[in-house]
Structure 1
Amino acid sequence: MNWITNFVRPKINSMLGRREMPDNLWIKDPETGEMVFHKDLEENQFVIPASGYHMKISARERLKFFFDGGKYEVLENPKVVQDPLKFRDEKRYVDRLKDAKSKTSLEDAILSAQGAIDGLPVVVTVQDFAFMGGSLGMAAGEALIHAFETARQRKRPLILFAASGGARMQEGILSLMQLPRSTVGVDRLKEAGLPYIVVLTNPTTGGVTASYAMLGDVHIAEPGALIGFAGPRVIEQTIREKLPDGFQRAEYLMEHGMVDMVVSRLEMKKTVANLLKLLLKVPEKTNALQPEILPPAVTSGETRPRA
């Protein structure tokens, strides 16, 4: 027992009125090394004020920042069989799922909700990279398709915030099957004449980029987001050449026609709302669609679906 650490120091701190500082009180800018006060960063939607660097955020934080007044109603994801292949590597797949659920408080990598942005009723689907790298498995695939069908049935546009490392290897071919299935969901939404806007966040890679994440009517990217199929290191090792500076970053892809625009998170809601008004031909001074398809009233913050 270290009596100086466990007894003497706490006694001195209590006598001098010192308090333990939280570990996350200050956050370091990955680009410049600048220390930013956590509360200031949160108020700025986790965009570093000086450098404009976009920190990763959780699915719930993104929904809170995006919807009017932070109000939204969560869509319940369909239930699927867990660990259909009884997969195990260094750790059992069921244990990895358990850890990811505990870490993120999510059932899987997809969180969908309905609400309004600038008065327009929409469905929003967010991939959370913190849940096993936002990988696409059966549960995420079913959640995506459910979101597309909900948007189609309720005649609402769908906005997807993509963040993924690709297909989930622990589910093998069953994971890859979700790519064409989700593509069908996109087609059905477009056949109904409803807009589908994709926001590519850091990172969006693998099969997700090769399917529904690149099928939007408009593709928006957050600044500095890594977007591509294979990673830069894999490409360099394959072609044995040095890649250009900024290769596969949002700004590079916009210059080469892969994305339509690069928009700061701080301007994302306004930009998407303006695009939807153009696509839906909403009159300039009208901030809502017909009353019959307005979203149901919800309380402040997240709500669960009605029975």
Structure 2
Amino acid sequence: MCQTQTAERILRGAALNWFEKMKTGIKSLIKREIPQGIWIKCKKCGHSNYEMALRRSHWICPECACHYPIGHQQYIDLLIDDGTFTEINANVAPVDPLKFKGYRDKIKTSRRQSGLKESVYTGIGQIGSHHVALAIMDSRYLTGTLGGATGEKLCRLIDRAMAERCTLVIVCQSGGARMQESAYSLMQMARISAKLNQLSQNGLLYIAIITDPTYGGVTASFAMLGDIALAEPGARIGFAGQTVIQQFLGTDAPLPEGFQLAETVLEHGFIDRIVPRDRMAAELARLIALLSPKTASHA
């Protein structure tokens, strides 16, 4: 009897070992047969989306309409008429005025990973055949922070818009002021705001597009100074981030529903409209046609 029970235990153990090896083999096979990046899980609804389908839908989840973050080139393709965009001030790049420890290494790493020289990409192009000066902030470069070179590129772009009498469009996406540049970074808020005041005095239109995330010094300056302020659905808009606020309050309790989301900001009157990404170009063309000085002069 004992021998029979011992034999059964041995067989059962062998079967379990075989089953575990089979499971491991199956998992390995699945991992090998599904290349990384083909399926992307939505951070909002959890649905697995086919990457090529997301590309075709401008990185909008087909299940819940969550807007994935995209870079400057995707925005150019999305907003600008084909073949009309020309980059300007491409050689403006950050320096290290305070000799901040590790800053130069961060700059090199961000350049290598993003292909950008600074957190904003600027140029001239057309939207719906309307001449525009366009700036796109890209969070892949140092989380889109506002530095001295960022401010310089934006100020030069505003000068170009005034010289060519065209509409200014800025796509905002930023973690705020760049701490490695301290007061040099904070000064850009005033510089850009002063330039935008000049643009307004010249009777020219400025449209701000606020995307996820837009925080800190960018929210406290030019993101909220547009004649028209548009936002993508679900964009996080605020001054201090949610984690910072919770740390300051000394609590892990969840913040109110909709806190800092574009929909809540719209309800409180700080932006004018929420526009899905795939309809943004058409909305911009319509607004420019209605509000630009050239159209007004022909009315």
Q: Same fold (TM over 0.5)?
A: yes
- Please give the alpha-carbon distance, in whole angstroms, between the structure 2 residues aligned to 1:217 and 1:148: 14
Q: Which runs of 5+ in 1 are unaligned?
A: 1-8, 14-18, 291-307
- Please give the alpha-carbon distance, in whole angstroms, between the structure 1 residues aligned to 2:264 and 2:172: 18
For residues 20 and 149 of structure 1, do their structure 2 counterparts lie closer, same or farther at Cα, with a shift above 3 Å needed?
farther
Query: Contact 2:94/2:147 (CA < 8 Å) preserved in 1?
Result: no
Q: Who is 1:146 aligned against? A: 156
CA shift, 1:237, in A, is: 4.5
Q: Who is 2:72 aligned against? A: 59
For residues 61 and 46 of structure 1, do their structure 2 counterparts lie closer, same or farther at Cα, with a shift above 3 Å needed?
same
The amino acid across from 2:292 in the alignment is L
Query: Contact 1:64/1:71 (CA < 8 Å) preserved in 2?
Result: no
Query: Contact 1:251/1:262 (CA < 8 Å) preserved in 2?
Result: yes
- Please give the alpha-carbon distance, in whole angstroms, between the structure 2 residues aligned to 1:144 and 1:283: 25
Larger of the two Rg values belongs to structure: 2
Q: Who is 2:113 aligned against? A: 103
Among candidates 257, 268, 271, match of residue 259 of structure 1: 271
Over the matched positions of the two proteins, sequence identity in percent amounts to 37
Query: Contact 1:78/1:143 (CA < 8 Å) preserved in 2?
Result: no
- Please give the alpha-carbon distance, in whole angstroms, between the structure 2 residues aligned to 1:104 and 1:22: 23
Q: Who is 2:262 aligned against? A: 250
How many residues get paired? 268
Answering whether residue 294 of structure 2 is matched by residue 276 of structure 1, we say no
- Please give the alpha-carbon distance, in whole angstroms, between the structure 2 residues aligned to 1:206 and 1:281: 32
Query: Contact 2:97/2:181 (CA < 8 Å) preserved in 1?
Result: yes
Structure showing greater relative contact order (alpha-carbon pairs closer than 8 Å, 6 or more residues apart): 1
Query: Contact 2:134/2:170 (CA < 8 Å) preserved in 1?
Result: yes
The amino acid across from 2:49 in the alignment is V
Q: Which runs of 5+ in 2 are unaligned?
A: 1-24
CA shift, 1:184, in A, is: 1.2
Q: Who is 2:191 aligned against? A: 181
When normalised by structure 2's length, the TM-score is 0.83
- Please give the alpha-carbon distance, in whole angstroms, between the structure 2 residues aligned to 1:53 and 1:122: 28
When normalised by structure 1's length, the TM-score is 0.81
Deviations 1:106-157 (A, max 9, x none): 1100001211111111111000011001001111110111111111111110
- Please give the alpha-carbon distance, in whole angstroms, between the structure 1 residues aligned to 2:131 and 2:125: 6
